[in-house]
Amino acid sequence: MIDDIVDKITMLLQGKIPSKIDTEKLDNENECEFSKKLNQLIDFMQEIHEFIIPLSKGELHDIKVQPGNYLASPFKELHSRLVHLTWQATQVAKGDYEQRVDFMGDFSEAFNAMIIALDQNEKLLKKKIDELEKAIFHIVKLEGILPICANCKRIRLEGAPYDKQESWVQIESYISNRTKAEFSHGICPDCIKKLYSD
């Protein structure tokens, strides 16, 4: 009897699940009681075994430990936290950056920092896209045929009446208002000759 028990406990210590003791065959009351407790321990360890192996592979669903298996409690807690983290990660994937992981030590810190960084990066990206869209809008405004005065080179504003002088603006003003370009004034060699030929 003792040898059998030692073998079973040795197996448990080695992470193996031994067969249970047949208590029906025992006459001694103490041995019977002890064997029932050992059988319960074997049941608990088997259940933990069947729970923790899929869990270690990331299989979080369809695994359960029956109530009353207190040895498995920390594993159930771990399972619960992993399920919660899975939900959190799914939310982040959907673009929900409101969630935070609480009280999970270093993991909380790393995960929350990741969410904040993703949020900031997305906001930065959206800002850049917005700026680019605005730039494209201005570029588009400079496309097409511009009505320009053949003599003074003023440009007529879009939709403005042809015969009103205020409809016509300097080309520098026209371009400056539609782009980020600025003008600095100088005189080209041909014009210098014309203006200062003497």
Partner 1 sequence: MFKEERNFNRFTWKDLGDINEGRPNLGLTVPVFAYRLLQYTFRDVLITELGIEKTNDIIVRAGKLAGAQFCMNLLNRELDFNEFVAQLQRVLREQTIGILRIEKADIENMNFTLTVAEDLDCSGLPFTDEVVCNYDEGFIAGILEAYTGKLFSAKEIDCWASGDRVCRFDVREVRTDK
| Residue 98 interacts with partner 1 (CB under 8 A): yes or no | yes
Transcribe 38-82 into DSSP letters.
Answer: HHHHHHHHHHHHHHHHHHHTT--SS----TT-GGGHHHHHHHHHH
Instruction: Pick the binder of partner 1 from 47, 76, 155, 168 (CB under 8 A).
Output: 76
Instruction: Pick the binder of partner 1 from 68, 144, 186, 189 (CB under 8 A).
Output: 68
Number of residues forming the site for partner 1 (CB under 8 A): 21
The conformation of residue 13, written as its DSSP 8-state character, comes to: H
Q: Is-contact 23 43, C-beta < 8 A?
A: no
Q: Which stretch binds partner 1 (CB under 8 A): 22-30, 62-70, 135-143, 159-167?
A: 62-70
Cβ proximity to partner 1, 68 vs 189, nearer residue: 68
| Residue 74 interacts with partner 1 (CB under 8 A): yes or no | yes
CB of 183 to partner 1, least distance (A): 49
| Residue 190 interacts with partner 1 (CB under 8 A): yes or no | no
Task: Tell how many helices (H) and how many strands (E) occur in the chain.
Answer: 6, 2
Distance, in Å, from the CA atom of 179 to the CA atom of 114, rounded to the nearest integer, reads: 37
| Residue 112 interacts with partner 1 (CB under 8 A): yes or no | no
Distance, in Å, from the CA atom of 41 to the CA atom of 49, rounded to the nearest integer, reads: 12
Q: Which stretch binds partner 1 (CB under 8 A): 6-14, 99-107, 165-173, 182-190?
A: 99-107
Tokens 């409690």 locate to 73
Question: Which pair of tokens denotes residue 71?
Answer: 């040895």
| Residue 103 interacts with partner 1 (CB under 8 A): yes or no | yes
Counted residue by residue, the chain has a size of 198
Residues contributing to the site for partner 1 (CB under 8 A)? 67-70, 73-74, 76-77, 80-81, 83-84, 87-88, 91, 96, 98-100, 102-103
